[in-house]
Chain A
Amino acid sequence: MSSPRITSSMVHRGVLADLNEIATKVSRTQLKMSSGKEILRPSDDPFGAGRALSLRGELDGLQQYRRNASDAEGWTTATDSALGTIGDIAQRARELLLSGGTGTVAPAERLKVAGEIDQLIEAAKDTGNSNYAGRSLFGGTATGAKPYGPATDTYLGDGGDIVRSIGPGVAVVINARGSEVLGNGADGKLLNTLRDISAHLKGTAPTDDAALRSSDIVAIDRSIDNVLTVRARVGAVTNRVSAADTRLAELEENAHVLLSKTEDADMAATIVDYSMQQSVYQSALRAGAGIVQTSLLDFLR
């Protein structure tokens, strides 16, 4: 078979189609360079786009968990410091008990000591009413009100847990309730113990003396121990939250890297592509100009 006829319109259409195709590629690469994105629309890479969406969601989720963790850490740190203060108060009360509770102290002195214990009780209740960003630390989920009123030692909060979510399905209880630490004044916890000590110091009966020397010391030790236990628990939560935060930061970093790999353009490769396409485009233009211009007409007289 002889070679096909090549007609003028075939040449023209061919040149035009090639130029069009290269120009489309150049403009696409340009868009990639200016936006820095590999995926501008889902159809550029449907699977990649779906993946980018879920990675972005995951990233947002991780950032949110970190925010939650930082809030939880703030809460537990504030709780820890309040528990520290309460612990100090209990220690001071124990010292007062040991120095003022012996039989050698004069009754007037004992009243003074009792007065200081009363002050410590108020201080403990004030600390029990401390808040974090306007929310009561020790009131359970009744965060809007103070857990201890001025007149009574009754615990006014509830038994609810304050929960923060610091990972998918990971919820931690971050609060300590006043009822666990200070008690309600009648349950052998710190307030109850301090009130007893105060009453025994003020009293003159031999039983008071006996109580001051024996059962009160046992009770205050138990209360101190209780405060320490709660504080240790809160400290453990703080550690757990901060460990989770570190891990979340790593995960966030990973998700960033994956997301960037999925949807960001490889700049070096894109720029190389661009200059290559540019030179192809220019040579196509030159070749086209040459082909389109000449015909037999140019060489006939």
Chain B
Amino acid sequence: MPISTFMGLNTSLRGLLTEQRALDVTSHNIANANTEGYSRQEATRRPTDAMGVPAGQIGTGVDVTSYRRIRDSFLDLQFRAQNMQAGYGSARADALEQAEMRLAEPGENGISARLSSFWSSWSDLANTPESGAARAALIEDAQTLVSSINALDDGFETVQTQAAQQLELLTGDGGELEGMARELAGLNGAIADSQRNGAQPNDLLDRRDLLLDKLSQLAQVSVGDNGAGSIRVTLGGAAAPLVDGAAVTWPAPAMPTPGGRIGALMDVASPTGTVATYRNDLAGFAQALTTQVNAVYNPAAGTDFFAYDATTKTLSLNPAITTLSLKAGSGGAAGANDAAIAISELRGKAGTPDDVYGRLVTRIGTEVADARRTTVNATALSESIEDRRQSTSGVSLDEEMTNLIRFQRGYQAAARAMSTTDEMLETIINRMGRVGL
């Protein structure tokens, strides 16, 4: 088969065009070097089909076969698992830290200080059972103690309410979760359309993966492949997928194992969750205080000192207790102080209110420290996975600059080859057959 004289021009042209495409891809990479979720792309080239000649085959140049998106989807799975832990840990740590701050321990304004001064007041009353000042001081201290216990319970309740509000903002109608689900469904549709037309929608795939990364911070994400570029996304171990292809199930299907920020907030807001158990412990403390003080005070004075309402979780001082009616001891004698001494002896012993309260403080401290540690660990792990992802998919400017030079040189060389062919043609067209002219 004869070969066209002009074939070399075409071969060079293919080289020029291919280098140009490669330069375009490099520019795209450089432009997106700092774009979140972007995966670097690469123009994959292949020699074009060779031409058979009697001596064998002769090459016809090069062509771009695809624009490849460089990404390791296995790392995505690892990243999302850790990102969920980090989301869970940080939301939990935030909420529990709120509860911890409301304790105001160790300090002068915490319940332990109030309780201590309450016991001291009983002791002072035992020293001066006749004194109106000691009675007034005791009642004042008792009221301060009552209001700080009630305020702490209110504080815990506020932490729960705030978590519920945040949860509503995330998972309610028109919230972050719904927005993400609808965007995912939209991207699914667009990606499937592109692939049907034979195109590889790299940038859309990046956006979808980024969205899945963000979703993984909110809850446990599992992704299934529907084929043809479409995926289904199930959240928190739900029975039905939240997004299936281009369809969204809203309101979101119930999540038995939510995980992530949603899981943490659900636990904090729940009436059986972590903060709820703090409230129960606090109630146990208030109950112990009431029972133990009343057990001493009532036989001596004939009335209770404290009253605790377990349904509203409210502690109160018996309104019948006034500076006049308050009794330091049994019997009518002015100097009797047996009850006051017995109550002041409740301070600090095992099983007494101090003990119960101390355990609550230690428990909250431990859980906050745990949540913080989980967050730090999961964040460190997700960072290191993100590093590995970036090592694969990230744009290295040094590399792109090198490519820029490589492709530019390639382009220049292809142009030179074209010029050389052109010079050859010059010889053929203008110089040949002109013997004697």
Contacts and interface: CB of A to CB of B under 8 A. Distances in A.
B333 A169 contact: no
A28 B319 CA distance: 46
Interface in B377-428: 383, 386-388, 390-392, 394-399, 401-402, 405
Contacts of B383: 13, 17
Given A9-B33, A43-B368, A134 B130 contact: yes
A56 to B, nearest CB: 7
Interface residues of B, number: 66
Interface string B69-106: 00000000000000000000000000001001101011
Nearest to A17: B383
A177 to B, nearest CB: 11
B387 A14 contact: yes
A4 B112 contact: no
A53 B331 contact: no
Contacts of A9: 33-34, 390, 394-395
Interface stretch (B141-149, B217-225, B297-305, B335-343): B335-343
23 contacts: A6-B391, A6-B396, A8-B394, A9-B34, A9-B390, A13-B386, A42-B103, A42-B362, A42-B365, A43-B364, A43-B366, A50-B359, A54-B355, A57-B112, A64-B344, A67-B123, A135-B334, A142-B333, A142-B334, A143-B130, A163-B341, A164-B127, A168-B345
A47 B335 CA distance: 42
Nearest to A300: B401
Given A41-B101, A50-B362, A52-B106, A144 B334 contact: yes
A17, A42, A49, A263 pick with most chain B CB within 10 angstroms: A42
Interface in A27-53: 39, 41-47, 49-50, 52-53
Interface string B337-375: 110010011011100001101110111111011001000
A42 B52 CA distance: 82
Interface in A51-82: 52-54, 56-58, 60-61, 63-65, 67-68, 71
Interface string A146-160: 000000000000101
B173 to A, nearest CB: 35
Given A50-B362, A140-B333, 14 more contacts: A5-B399, A6-B391, A10-B391, A13-B386, A42-B368, A43-B100, A64-B124, A65-B123, A135-B335, A162-B335, A165-B344, A263-B106, A295-B398, A297-B401
A152 B391 CA distance: 106
Given A56-B116, A135-B130, A5 B391 contact: yes
Contact of A56 (B33, B106, B369, B387): B106
Given A8-B33, A68-B123, A163-B341, A296 B397 contact: yes
Nearest to B357: A53
Nearest to B115: A57
Contact of B335 (A4, A141, A168, A263): A141
A50 B365 CA distance: 9
Interface of B: 33-34, 97, 100-101, 103, 105-106, 112-113, 115-117, 119-120, 123-124, 126-130, 329, 331, 333-338, 341, 344-345, 347-349, 354-355, 357-359, 361-366, 368-369, 372, 383, 386-388, 390-392, 394-399, 401-402, 405
A60 B120 CA distance: 8
Contacts of B344: 64, 165
B340 to A, nearest CB: 9
Contacts of A14: 387
Contacts of B101: 41
A39, A53, A58 pick with most chain B CB within 10 angstroms: A53
A271 interface: no
Contacts of B396: 5-8
A58, A134, A165, A297 pick with most chain B CB within 10 angstroms: A165
Given A67-B123, A141-B333, A60 B116 contact: yes
A71 B105 CA distance: 32
Contacts of B363: 46
